[in-house]
Each structure stands twice: as C-alpha cells, then as structure tokens.
Structure 1
Amino acid sequence: MTLDTPQAGTRVERLTVHEALQRLEHERASRLAQLRALDEAGPDAGEQVSVQADTVRQVLAEVEAAFARVQDGSYGLCRTCSEPIPVERLEILPHTRFCVPCRRTDV
C-alpha cells in the first residue's frame, strides 16, 4: 500500500505506509527522549522547561493523531485543501496535517 504525493511536474513519488510509520515512530521516539530529558530537570527547573515540556507533549499528540490518519487512509492529505502533502514536507514534519500554502494561510 502506498500514499501518493505529487512532486514537481506530473511525476508522483510514492510513500509507503511502512515508510510513513517508520518516520512517525522515529519522531515519537525523539520526542519521548526530549520529554524524558526535560523531566529529569526536575520540578525546580523553571517555567521555561515546563513550557518546553508542554510543547513536546503537544507534538506527541500530533504524532499520535498522524498514526490514526495512517490507519484511516487520510495520512499525507492536507486537512484544508485535501491535496496530497509533498513527500519532502512529510520527511521534515511527518506529523503535519497541512501543505505549505495552507499552513501559511492558517497561521
């Protein structure tokens, strides 16, 4: 099974479900390691560490939501325009829900 995403011109690059899951697993492992490191700083580490931990938890929630999108077949499709998200963007942000043009207008 593949997830199709357009590239320049008419060529379509295929992202397999396995590749998507690998990228998401890597992202989850990285964020969990970050969270452990922040938690090791302890409760006296200050507000900045608390804010960073909250941000990492939010990204983890987005990664988990991306796993659900893989399962329901909507992974790799922009939530705004429904167009495929380019593979290059998914490589950088495997949990993204938006293509670049829609993300720019969403901010």
Structure 2
Amino acid sequence: MSLDSAARAGSAVERFSVHEARRRLEHEHGARLIQLQATGEASGGAPVADDLRMVIEQALKDIDAAFARLQEGAYGICQGCGRPIPVERLEILPYARCCVPCQQRAG
C-alpha cells in the first residue's frame, strides 16, 4: 500500500504526502552528508570517528532504501507486519523501515 492509497483508506498516513516524505528524506540525506564530511575533517584517524562514520554511512544507505520504497509505492508500510507506519514515527525517522513494535522485536 502506498502513501496515496493509505490516504484514500483514511489512515493516519493521509497527513504525510509523498511530496512531504521526499522533502524529509532529502533533508535527512543532506544532513547526513554534512555529518560525514565533518567526521572526515575532524577524525584524524580516531576510532570513535570511524565508528561514527560507519553509522552515518548506514543511515545514508537506509535513506536511499527509503527513496526506493517511495518510488515503488511501499514507503510508510512496515516491512515487519505490513501495516502503515504511524506518521509520527515517519516524522521523527523518515527512513524507518518498520513500526516501533516490529523494530523492537527485531532487536
């Protein structure tokens, strides 16, 4: 179910348009690129910076995957249970793959 079809079904996702999702993902992507650049400038080879860099790179991969789901019409649908991810979660973490209960079960 895409955001548009979920909106027609009357779910909470109706408040979160495809345009808004794309805008939020673009913002997250830009912010992570800035963070990645900053870790490169400040790291000096520090192990903590390397760990942070890996976390940021994973977030960028997750954001790219969210863009793909948006393109496929699967954005906003939990990959665990198949239900719509609450808009409030997508507002906080626009590249979320799962609803909170499924994320907690995944570990």
* Bin of the TM-score, shorter chain as denominator length: 0.7 to 0.9
Please list every run of 5 or more consecutive structure 2 residues that lacks an aligned counterpart in the other structure: none
Contact 1:3 1:16 in 2 (8 A): no
Identify if the C-alpha distance between structure 1 residues 48 and 3 changes in structure 2 by more than 3 Å, giving closer, same or farther.
farther
Number of equivalent positions: 102
**What's 2:70 paired with?**
70
Residue 6 of structure 2 aligns to a residue in which SS? strand
Residue 36 of structure 1 aligns to a residue in which SS? helix
Mapped partners of 1:3, 1:60: distance in 2? 27
**What's 2:6 paired with?**
4
Q: Which structure features the higher share of strand residues? A: 1
Residue 76 of structure 1 aligns to a residue in which SS? coil
Contact 1:3 1:76 in 2 (8 A): no
**What's 2:56 paired with?**
56
Q: Which structure features the higher share of helix residues? A: 2
How many percent identity over aligned positions? 44
Mapped partners of 1:96, 1:84: distance in 2? 11
Q: Please report the RMSD computed on the Cα atoms of aligned residues, expressed in angstroms.
A: 1.8
Structure 1 runs of 4+ off > 3 angstroms? 10-13
**What's 2:29 paired with?**
28
**What's 1:41 paired with?**
42
Mapped partners of 1:51, 1:103: distance in 2? 22
Identify if the C-alpha distance between structure 1 residues 56 and 83 changes in structure 2 by more than 3 Å, giving closer, same or farther.
same
Shift of 1:95: 0.4
Identify if the C-alpha distance between structure 1 residues 3 and 11 changes in structure 2 by more than 3 Å, giving closer, same or farther.
closer
Please list every run of 5 or more consecutive structure 1 residues that lacks an aligned counterpart in the other structure: none
Contact 2:25 2:63 in 1 (8 A): yes
**What's 2:92 paired with?**
92
